[in-house]
Amino acid sequence: MNAILDGSDSRAKNVALGLGIIGISGCLIGWFIAPRDFFVAYLFGHFFFLGLSLGSLALLMIHHLTAGDWGYAVRRFLESAVANLPLLALLFVPIFFGLSNLYPWQNRGVVSADETLKMYLNPAGFVFRTAMVFAVWIIMAGRLLKWSAEQDLTVSLEPTRKMRTLSGPGLVIYPVTMTFAAVDWLMSMEADWYSTMFPILICIGHLLSALALVILLLAWAAPSSALAPLATEKAFHDLGNLLLAFTMMWAYLAFGQLLVIWSGNLPHEISWYLHRVADGWKWIAIFIALFHFFVPFFLLLMRAAKERRRMLARIAACVLAAHIVAVWWTIAPGVYTKQFYVGWLAPAAFLGIGGIYAFAFLKNLERRRLVPQNDPRLALSVPT
Amino acid sequence: MSQPYGLLAEFSNHEDLLRAAKEAYAAGFRKMDAFAPFPVEGLPEALGKKTRLPLLVLIGGIIGGVGAYYMEWYANAVSYVINIGGRPIHSWPAFIPITFELTVLGAGLTAFFFSLGLSGLPRPHHPLFNVPEFERASQDRFFLCIETRDSKFNSDQTRAFLKSLNPLSVAEVPE
C-alpha cells in the first residue's frame, strides 16, 4: 500500500491512466454516435468527481478552522483531491459543446422561455459563470496548497494562520459559488424547475462523498504507511461521527426539499420528482433512501462500527457507491423523463474521468510526505 | 462507630488520576468512583464503568418515533378521515416531521431522566461531603474513592495501595 502512496510502485497509477484513456476513447465514440447520451453521461461523471474535490476543499477548510485529530490523518488525501481542481476545470470544457443537448433553454424548438429568463440562461452567461466559479475555487485551492507546502518547511506559525484566515470566508464562498454552478449545470436541465434548497443539498453531497473517500483511503493505507500513528481508533471514531453527521444532514435536506415541493404540489416544481419516480427511477429512489441514509445511519449509531477500521471502511464504501447512484438519479431523469435509463456511456464517462482523476490524485499524493510537517497543533494530536 | 464509606485519594492532575484508576482496576478493585472538575477522557473505561444509557436512549427514540407515526396514521387514516388537498389519506411525507420530532423528544427525555436515575440522583447528601478536601473536586483537585463494600477492601492494605499511587493525601470517608 505504502508503495502506491509514495509513488515507488507505479502500477496503480498506470492502471488508472489506462482505464481513463479507454473510458475517454469510449466517450469520444459516444460523442459522435449518440451525442445527447454522451453529454448526460459526461456531466454525470464530471460532476461526481468534481464533488469529491470540492467536498475535500470544504473539509480541508473545516479542518483548518477546527483542527480536529481526524484531519491530520486525512490531510494529504484532501489536499491531493483539491489539487485536481484545475484538471476538472479543463475536463469541463466539452460540456460547453453540448449545451443544446442538455439544456432546454438552449433548445429553440422546445422552450418558449420568457425573455427575462433568457437574459440569465444563455450560452455566454453559462460559460462566463462556469469560468468564474472555477477561477474562485482554483484560487482558494491554490492558496491553501501553497501555504500548506510552506508550513512543511518552516516552524513559523504564519502559514497555518493564513490557512485559517482564508478558511472562514472560504466556507461561505463555496456554497455561494456552488449555487451559481448548480443552477446552471443541474437545475436548468429541467425547464422552469427551481428549488432554493437544491444547491446546499448538492454541497452536503460533496462533503459526504469526499469524507467517505478519505475514510476509505485512510482505512486502506493506515496499517502500512507513515500514517499509522495518526490512524488511531479515536481518529476513525471522529471520522465516523462526521460521516454520521453529514449522512443525517444530507437526508434532512433531501427530505426537506421533497416535503416542501410535495406539499406545494405545483406543476413546475413537482415535475422534477415525477420524473424521478417514473418507471424504474422509483426503484433507484428507494435504493438511495436505503443505502444513502438508512443503512449507514443505523450502522453509524454504533460506537463499535465507527472505531473499527474495516467496518467503517465498508460503511464509507456503501455511502460512496450510493452517492454515485444519487448523482445519476439527480442528473439523468432530467433527460430520460419517461423511464429508467443507463447506457454504456455512463460507466465509460465515469471510468474515463475517474481514471484520469485517480492518476492525477496519486501523482499529487506522492509529491509530499503523508504526515503534515510542523503543524503547531499536530503535536497534540499524536498519542504519546 | 460504624464502618466508614471508603478511602479517598487526592491527586493534583487528571493524568495522575487516570493512571491511579487504571492501577486500581488492575489491582482488582471494582466498587470505586473518580471525581474531577471536568470530564476526563477514558476515565469511565479505566474504572470499568459500563452504562446502559445508549441502549435506553435508542429504545426511547424508537418508541417516540413509532408512537408518533402510529398516532398520525390512526388520527388521519382511521379515526377521523379527512381529505386534505386531494392527497392520499395515508400521506407519509406529511407525517415525517412529527415522527422526527417525537423521536428526538423520546430520546432526549429518556437520556435526561435515566441519566439522573442511573446515577442515583436526586440525592441531597453523600458521605463524600464529610471530607472537607472534597470541596475542591469541583475546582482543581482529582479524587479516587475506593468503597468499603468492595470485596477486596481491607482498611490497611487499601490505604497502603492508595499511598503507593503517589496521591497528595489519603483520607478516610466517614459514613
Q: How many domains does chain B have?
A: 2
Query: For residue A221, is pLDDT > 80?
Result: yes
The answer on B57 and B45 residing in a single domain is: no
Question: Percentage of residues in chain B with pLDDT exceeding 70?
Answer: 99
Q: Does B61 share its domain with B97? A: yes
Name chain B contacts of A258, Cβ cutoff 8 Å. 93
Lowest-pLDDT range of A356-360, A362-366, B32-36, B109-113: B32-36
Does residue B150 form part of some domain? yes
Domain count, chain A: 1
| Chain B: closest CA distance from residue A323 (Å) | 22
Q: Which of B91, B118, B145 is the last residue of a domain?
A: B118
- Which pLDDT band, with edges at 50, 70 and 90, does A331 fall under? very high
B169 is a domain residue: yes
Whether residue A301 lies within 8 A of chain B, CB to CB, comes out as yes
Q: How many angstroms separate the CA atoms of A198 and A187, rounded?
A: 8
Q: Is residue A380 part of a domain?
A: no
Q: Is residue A310 part of a domain?
A: yes
pLDDT number for residue A384: 39
d(CA B103, CA B106): 5
For residue B148, the Cα-to-chain-centroid distance in whole angstroms is 21
**Residues of B with CB below 8 A from A285's CB?**
none
d(CA A226, CA A219): 13
On whether both B129 and B141 belong to a single domain, the answer is yes
Q: Judge whether A171 and A200 are in contact, CB under 8 Å.
A: no
pLDDT of A367 > 80? The answer is: yes
The shortest C-alpha distance from B52 to chain A (Å) reads: 13
Are residues B134 and B109 part of one domain? Answer: no
ipTM passes above 0.95? no
Query: Has residue A113 got a pLDDT over 70?
Result: no
Within a domain: residue A2?
no
Q: Is residue B1 part of a domain?
A: no
Ramachandran quadrant class, A232 (left: phi over 0; alpha: psi -120 to 50; beta: rest): beta
Q: Which residues contact A95 (CB under 8 A, 6 or more apart)?
A: A39, A42, A43, A46, A102, A185
Domain region containing A94: 7-373
Looking at residue A31, its pLDDT comes to 92
| Residue A269 grid coordinates | 416544481
Query: A332 near A36, Cβ under 8 Å?
Result: no
Q: Any CB–CB contact under 8 A between A255 and chain B?
A: yes
Interface check for A258 against chain B (CB to CB < 8 A): the answer is: yes
Q: Which of A259, A301, A303 sits opposite B96 (nearest CB)?
A: A259
- Cα–Cα distance between B50 and B29 in angstroms, integer? 15
Mutate to test the interface with A, among B18, B50, B96, B99 (most CBs of A within 10 A): B96
User: Which residues in chain A have their CB less than 8 angstroms from residue B97's CB?
Assistant: 259
CB atoms under 10 Å from CB of B164, counted, come to: 11
Q: At a CB cut-off of 8 Å and minimum separation 6, what does A183 contact?
A: A194, A199
Over 90: is that where the pLDDT of A245 sits? yes
Chain B residue with the nearest C-alpha to that of A256? B97
Q: Which pLDDT value is given to residue A108?
A: 61
Nearest to A258 among B54, B85, B93 (CB): B93
State mean pLDDT over A100-109. 78
Three-state SS for A61-81 is HHHHHHCCHHHHHHHHHHHHH
* Tens-place pLDDT, residues A179-206: 999 999 999 888 778 899 999 999 999 9
The whole-angstrom separation of Cα B48 and Cα A124 is 67
Same domain, B114 and B137: no
pLDDT (average), residues B1-15: 80
Domain assignment of residue B26, yes or no: yes
Contact present, A258 and B78 (Cβ < 8 Å) = no
On whether any CB of chain A is under 8 Å from the CB of B85, the answer is yes
User: Are B10 and B137 contacting, i.e. CB atoms less than 8 angstroms apart?
Assistant: no
How far is the alpha carbon of A188 from chain B, nearest alpha carbon, in Å?
A: 26
Out of A255-259, A331-335, B56-60, B153-157, which region has the weakest mean confidence (pLDDT)? B153-157
A259 lies within 8 A of chain B by CB:
yes
Q: What is the mean pLDDT of chain A?
A: 89
Render pLDDT for A25-49 as a digit per residue (tens, 0 to 9): 999 999 999 999 999 999 999 999 9
Residue B162 domain flag: yes
Same domain, B44 and B64: no
Within a domain: B108: yes
E-only strand ranges, chain A: none
Report whether pLDDT(A117) > 80: no
User: B131 with B8: CB under 8 angstroms?
Assistant: yes
Range of the domain at B18: 6-50+125-173
Contacts of A66 (CB under 8 A, 6+ apart): none
